Amino acid sequence: MEAILTGALTQLHEAADQLQLRDEMREYLTSFKTVFQTQFPVEMDDGSLKMFEGLRVLHNVARGPSKGGIRYSAHVSLDEVKALAMLMTWKCAVVDVPFGGAKGGVTVDPAALSSNELQNLTRRFTSEIIPIIGPDKDIPAPDMGTNPQIMAWMMDTYSMTQGYTIPGVVTGKPIALGGSEGRFEATGRGILYVIQEHLRAEGGIQGRTVAVQGFGNVGGVAARLIHEAGAKVTYLSDKDIALHHRDGIDVTAAYAFVAKGGTLTGWHDLFARDVEVVAGADVLAAEVDILIPAALESVLTEANAAAVRAPLIIEAANGPTTVEADAILRERSVVVVPDILANAGGVTVSYFEWVQARQFQRWSEQRVNQELQSIMAKAYQTIATRRPVNAPNCTLRQAANWVAIERVVEAVNLRGIYP
């Protein structure tokens, strides 16, 4: 069993013990409504056929249709997708949007495919999962290795089989096809809002030093917004390079360069030779006020958790902290804002996009951001106040799990079991 699934189940069982859940409810919450596996052919540019494996897992739909990303990665596995589907259930419940959790993916390196091959793969995979997706059933979204264009192909493929356009079947679409203003930046912006809420009583974010591991859609946007809010991003990394500058890196300039098709390495070599290149491990062990792991899961482990020097960790990635690392961080009194809250901005604005599609409305970016800030602030305060007064060692992760599980259990009990 992969570490991320082990971690998700361990956290659930710990919360179930603390909430004194009945054994049958515990079994219900550790089960998965639908596990869909498919192997399908794709026509390549040279006319040959190549087989691929796809997955879609629906964890729980007690609170509404399931929601979750589609990732294209060579490392997609059933355990990973199950874990991420379960985490999506808790994430949706924490921010109180009416969705359950799902996740999906195809085992493929998208960089190895041409645009035409990527479209062929996307349309065939979508046709395979049509029996379980739909605007009232299961709503995919972008994730690692996917983007608005891929969501456009998915929406079009689904719509062609129904005979009319159904924009609400996926979220994260291009704005021209019913995507939401503010959706691209939503996860990173949600991270900023959570940090601001957490530090509200401690002087705010301005002047804080920050290390960000990951410079993709989530980490790049979060780093830029945090920089523009007045913090100093002194460490920054992607999969190829890690950078450090004691006075802060010009993240706005780096982000603009990468957004135009460049790389963080290219930006450093051309424009930022005064920024020091360091080892990737140095980012996680940086002496900063805030550490933001925004890359892959399970990057904070038993082997490196003791080296973390930041007093505050904001989990921008899904499942970046293993169970063993979490115990070490808790023992060291490192505060961790868990992923099911910290990176919930993406699914929150996906909910806004779904609502706009269902009502044939267009919200302004200002409205989207205001609504997002309100929901993220409310979710943080709900979790912060859920911690018992007589349990000062209760972590934000524990409180978030309690809130999420209680909301799902309430929905299950109110609906009952059919038949």
Residues annotated as catalytic are 103
3-state per-residue secondary structure call for the chain = CCHHHHHHHHHHHHHHHHHCCCHHHHHHHCCCCEEEEEEEEEECCCCCEEEEEEEEEEEECCCCCEEEEEEEECCCCHHHHHHHHHHHHHHHHHCCCCCEEEEEEEECCHHHCCHHHHHHHHHHHHHHHCCCCECCCEEEEECCCCCHHHHHHHHHHHHHHHCCCCHHHCCCCCHHHCCCCCCCCHHHHHHHHHHHHHCHHHCCCCCCEEEEECCCHHHHHHHHHHHHCCCEEEEEECCCCEEECCCCCCHHHHHHHHHCCCCHHHHHHHHCCCCEEECHHHHHCCCCCEEEECCCCCCECCCCHHHCCCCEEECCCCCCECHHHHHHHHHCCCEEECHHHHCCHHHHHHHHHHHHHHHCCCCCHHHHHHHHHHHHHHHHHHHHHHCCCCCCCCCHHHHHHHHHHHHHHHHHHHHCCCC
